[in-house]
Structure 1
């Protein structure tokens, strides 16, 4: 494998966060390309880039993504998607994606992407899914040869504005025995609630395929309600605006007392996982511009099933280890806290119960040895 991850050490603890076993639930394939790979693939197809220097290109992506707007943030994907239209391009990106997860200590990753955005070179929906799966599987083999054990699954996403929800849901079910573990909807939230894809979600429910829904990132609490009611979501992609449904009732020397609204109470009591992505949330102004203002810690302390995610490693110049390091640095988390985040993610993964139990055992063993 030709990949390397920066090593992050737990503040004050000495343990290597990078070496710890981790679960990645919210990680976009088209948001995790290596800059040099973009340059190589762009040259092959004659696509013009802002720069052909890998370091400068990485900086360009991060700068463009720091707009404070999800709509502007999403425009950077015009570049990555452009170089992911051929079977070879999809294979390479997927293979390297696994290399980079393994180098970051990830033992299970769910890779989400939207097949409908990768058809301009003449491939069919099934062919692009198969190309990505071949790349993911080769990446797993490569990782094993380098001493890393990792599993991956595809989360097939429908673009919520494109009116192809049912078609993509049918694709996901058709490919469920070829690496697809679940379904998602992505893209601009405002004006495109889950209810607009009701037929897709009905079909998925009838076929028992798990669903996560982007909600509560760039739209209000109503988007989370729609994800739960219309989408039958088992997890919420981001969901940071669930904090709007939590109100402070009083405060004294012993602490702050809060009251949960109906939606927040439902998510907490039923342990519906929140796929929080702190750095990305700050970039898109989903909730504030400083990590100290992010509701991650409040949700964790209140008992929500919080998980830590990267969203888009390229755009946020991040990794799962870096996100955990930043949270530990800001909120004083210990090794036990980081373990809990991974256990939350393992329990929320779209694997069988036995496979989830295996992940939990790997996490407990890895953290005990740290």
Structure 2
């Protein structure tokens, strides 16, 4: 039987793939847009939230990405980045998330005169404020920022250097984002080699809008620690004649080495990966032993929370508390957090809560 949302909400969860500019509160958008003179497509919070979901629910990644023009427009001042980062943490904590990574691309937030370092420091301050606010409310959450480079630009090495320079400013790792098709990971090879030399972990968006070649490059050429989305790995899995599955060499490599996939079910439906939750590759990949994690991608555009993502999966595949615990541990193990910090979260927060339910 599917788990009730209130049960899922109460359980500790881990969010690895959540874009800072994809989770802005509609009211915050309205507030800042009025101050900076940016015109939004709706004039009240409810209508604005509906507009974002409908615009993103188009079935194509290109149209989905267009919605970010509005959120990025209100994230050009230090005080706005700080506010949005603080609210990111508060909203995650309110949903029962105990560890969250906020990924964003500093190069997109310089129009107001900020330097790259000032932008990263503003997000750092917001995340820190959010963790304090959550703690004061009796909620445990640890937050980190993932600094992203836009794959269509030529600033990969510069942004990698930025991430390394600010690793003590709550920077957990690095990512590349933006249009995947036509901009393969190897374009930013110099950036990834720099990160390797400086021991900073990174994830790579791959296998969302492009297929197996993109995933292969991310894993075999760039040596990604995790894969953002990665669900197109299902293209390397075929049904056999007797109900079994044939797992291809790339898929087997990713499965056997437990390279975590950051799966975002609702976002995947919006961009055409699958027509329904029940037809999402998640069920087959889980059955075959892949290391799966669950995230929201963009809570504003997908009109979702991590509680809702797990609710959809529980309804589609019959997952229970033990399964949610397994996916949460997968995410915690893959988190860009120190080993002792991960162990402390599991021992002090995650395990006690799941033991109470069981």
- TM-score above 0.5, yes or no: yes
Aligned twin of 2:109: 118
1:192 and 2:183 are equivalent in the alignment: yes
In structure 2, the partner of 1:3 is none
| Structure 1 pair 162–149 and aligned structure 2 pair: CA distance change class (3 A) | same
Question: 1:139, 1:99 → 2: CA distance?
Answer: 6
Unaligned runs of 5+ in 2: none
Structure 2 SS opposite 1:23: strand
The answer for the alignment partner of 1:59 in structure 2 is 50
1:360 deviation in Å?
2.4
Alignment of 1:298-313 (within 5 A): 298-313=284-299
Q: Distance in 1 between matches of 2:299 and 2:320?
A: 24
Taking the aligned partners of 2:105 and 2:321, their CA distance within structure 1 comes to: 35
Number of residue pairs the alignment of both structures matches:
356
Quick one: distance in 2 between partners of 1:171 and 1:42? 28
Matches within 5 A, 1:24-103: 24-103=15-94
| Matches of 1:264 and 1:15, distance apart in 2 | 35
2:275 match: 289
Question: Aligned with 2:59: secondary structure?
Answer: coil
> Which whole-Å CA distance do the structure 1 matches of 2:54 and 2:320 have between them?
31
| Partner-residue secondary structure (3-state), 1:101 | helix
Question: 1:312, 1:193 → 2: CA distance?
Answer: 22
Alpha-carbon distance, 1:19 to partner: 1.2
Asked if the contact 2:3–2:319 (Cα under 8 Å) also holds between the matched residues in 1, the reply is: no
Name the residue aligned to 1:265.
252
Task: Give the structure 1 partner of residue 223 of structure 2.
Answer: 232
After TM superposition, the structure 1 = structure 2 runs for residues 108-257 of structure 1, keeping only pairs within 5 Å, are 108-251=99-242, 256-257=243-244
Moved more, 357-366 or 229-238: 357-366
Q: Secondary structure at the match of 1:177?
A: coil
Q: What residue number does 2:265 align with? A: 278
Are the aligned partners of 1:201 and 1:230 in contact in 2 as well (CA < 8 Å)? no
Q: Which residue of the partner structure matches residue 6 of structure 1? A: none
Partners of 2:48 and 2:5 in 1: CA distance: 33
Unaligned runs of 5+ in 1: 1-9
In structure 2, do the counterparts of structure 1 residues 12 and 360 end up closer, same or farther at CA, with 3 Å as the change threshold? closer
Give CA deviations for 1:83-122 in whole Å, capped at 9, x if unaligned: 0000111011001111100000011111100000000000
Alpha-carbon distance in structure 2 between the residues aligned to 1:359 and 1:225: 32
Q: Which residue of 2 aligns with 1:5?
A: none
* Corresponding residue SS for 1:293: coil
Q: In structure 2, how many angstroms separate the alpha carbons of the residues matched to 1:178 and 1:230?
A: 29
- Does structure 1 conserve the Cα–Cα contact (< 8 Å) formed by 2:5 and 2:307? no
Over the aligned positions, Cα root-mean-square deviation in angstroms equals 1.1
Equivalent in the alignment of 2:345 = 359
Q: What's the CA shift string for 1:166-185, capped at 9, x where partnerless? A: 00000000000111010000
* TM-fit CA distance, 1:188: 0.3
Partner of 2:331 in structure 1?
A: 345
Q: Deviations over 1:286-311 (max 9, x none)?
A: x2221111010111111110001100
1:225 CA drift (Å) = 0.5
Cα displacement string for residues 3-36 of structure 1 (whole angstroms, at most 9, x for unaligned residues)? xxxxxxx835686211111100000000000000
Q: Contact 1:11/1:328 (CA < 8 Å) preserved in 2?
A: yes
CA distance in 2, matches of 1:259, 1:205: 33
User: 1:314 — aligned with what?
Assistant: 300
Deviations 1:192-238 (A, max 9, x none): 01100011011000001001000000001100011112321010000
Deviation per CA, 1:274-294: give whole Å up to 9, x if none.
Answer: 000000000001x22211110
Q: Distance in 2 between matches of 1:91 and 1:14?
A: 31
